[in-house]
Amino acid sequence: MKNDVVVGQYYPTNSVIHRLDPRTKIMSTLLYIVFLFVAKNIWGYIAALFFLSLAVIVSKVPVGYVLRGLKGVVFIVCMTLVFNLIWTPGEALLTLGPIIITRQGVMASINMAFRLLLLITGTSMMSLCTATIALTDGIEALIKKVPFLGKVSHEISMMMSIALRFIPSLTEELDRIMKAQKSRGADFESKNLVKRIKSYVPLLVPLFVSAFQRANDLAMAMEARCYKGGEGRTRLRILKYQKIDFAAYIIVALAMGCIFATRYIPFKLI
């Protein structure tokens, strides 16, 4: 396929982590994120990094893939670093003209950088190890437990699944329309901002028309196949916790305990 658009970034292997129930993976990831913010000093991050690396090794996903998720956010991380570095008030360490770098600033940016990097690699690990369909199933099952959202859990997961389903179609469609309008002399690379925004009209109108057409077609096809919403609906796959899931929860709890414990290890960089 020439335009194999990848949504999510599932990397299939036969690892234990891949075989876990998606709910286990989602909950563990959430816990992991919480504990990244509980962690207070570098020991905490080192512990988190240690457990994350362990997960990567067990998952058999190549490290390169895991780190690829970072590429898109390097810029954001650097920006946060710079802001934290120069705008945190406190005890001055270094003065460069109007810019004062403080001890608190250095600490804050170190904290931020670790948190962000660990957070992004952690979540991308989850999506690497969980097929999109399992992910939406898992989210549906978890939302069901939330008091306010329980009633619409089916709708939410249906919406997610349809969105995922149609992103590649609409990307292809956009490419097609773009080529057609280019063939009619449309210029999408104008330097003039107003002109450039205007030039998107011939793309967006057909794209919306087509998206509505698709929505209409799909609604019709779903109805024809007896869809009446979530009520009375069964599933081909039913999520069921296995022994490995309980084991996983215990391991995750221990790991979180370790991260929590690092709060009490004294640390002073500067």
Partner 1 sequence: MSIEVKNLSHIYSKGTVFEHIALEDVSFEVGPHDFIGIIGHTGSGKSTLIQHINRLLVPTSGTIVVNNININEPNVPMKEIVKRVGIVFQYPEYQLFEETVYKDVSFGPKNLGYDEEKVDFLVKQSIEIMGLDYEEIKDKSPFELSGGQKRRVAIAGVIAMKPPILILDEPTSGLDPMGRREMLDMIKNMNKQLGMCIILVTHSMDDVAEYADKIMVFSSGRLMKYGPPAEVFADSKFLADISLDVPQSKAVLERLKEEGYEIDTSAYTTKEAAKEIIRVFGK
Partner 2 sequence: MNKKIIELRDVSFVYDSENAPGVKALDEVSLDIYEGEFVGIVGKNGSGKSTLAKLLNALILPSSGKVFVGGMDSADPQYTTDIRKVCSMVFQNPDNQMVATIVEEDTAFGPENLGLAPDKIRRRVDESLKAVGMYDFKDKKPHQLSGGQKQRVAIAGVIAMHPQCIVFDESTAMLDPAGRADLINIMHTLNSEGVTVIFITHYMEEIVGASRIIVMGDGKIIGDGTPREIFSNPKWLEENRLSVPEIVALSTALREGGLDIPPGILSEDELVEALCRLK
Can you give the binding site for partner 1, defined by CB under 8 A? 1-2, 4, 173, 176-177, 179-187, 201-202, 205-206, 209-210
Q: Is residue 244 a contact residue for partner 2 (CB under 8 A)?
A: no
Number of C-beta neighbours around residue 135 at 10 A: 22
| Residue 220 touches which member of partner 1, partner 2, none, C-beta under 5-8 Å by kind | partner 2
> Can you tell me which of 197, 222, 250, 261 binds partner 2, judged by CB under 8 A?
222
| Residue 179 touches which member of partner 1, partner 2, none, C-beta under 5-8 Å by kind | partner 1
Cα–Cα distance measured from residue 169 to residue 172, given in angstroms and rounded to the nearest whole number: 5
What's the closest the beta carbon of residue 175 comes to partner 2, in angstroms? 12
Q: Is residue 217 a contact residue for partner 2 (CB under 8 A)?
A: yes
Contact characters 117-156, partner 2, x per CB under 8 A: --------------xxx-----------------------
> Can you tell me which of 223, 254, 257, 261 binds partner 2, judged by CB under 8 A?
223
Asked whether the beta carbons of 247 and 19 are under 8 A apart, the reply is: no
Contact characters 13-52, partner 2, x per CB under 8 A: ----------------------------------------
| Residue 181 touches which member of partner 1, partner 2, none, C-beta under 5-8 Å by kind | partner 1
The Cα-based distances of 116 to 1, 25, 70, 204 in angstroms read: 35, 19, 10, 34
Q: Which residues fall within 8 angstroms of residue 113, CB to CB, at 6 or more apart?
A: 77, 80, 81
Q: Is residue 207 a contact residue for partner 2 (CB under 8 A)?
A: no
Cα–Cα distance measured from residue 118 to residue 67, given in angstroms and rounded to the nearest whole number: 10
Q: Which residues bind partner 2 (CB under 8 A)?
A: 1, 3-5, 131-133, 161-162, 164-165, 168-169, 172, 213-214, 217-218, 220-228, 232-238
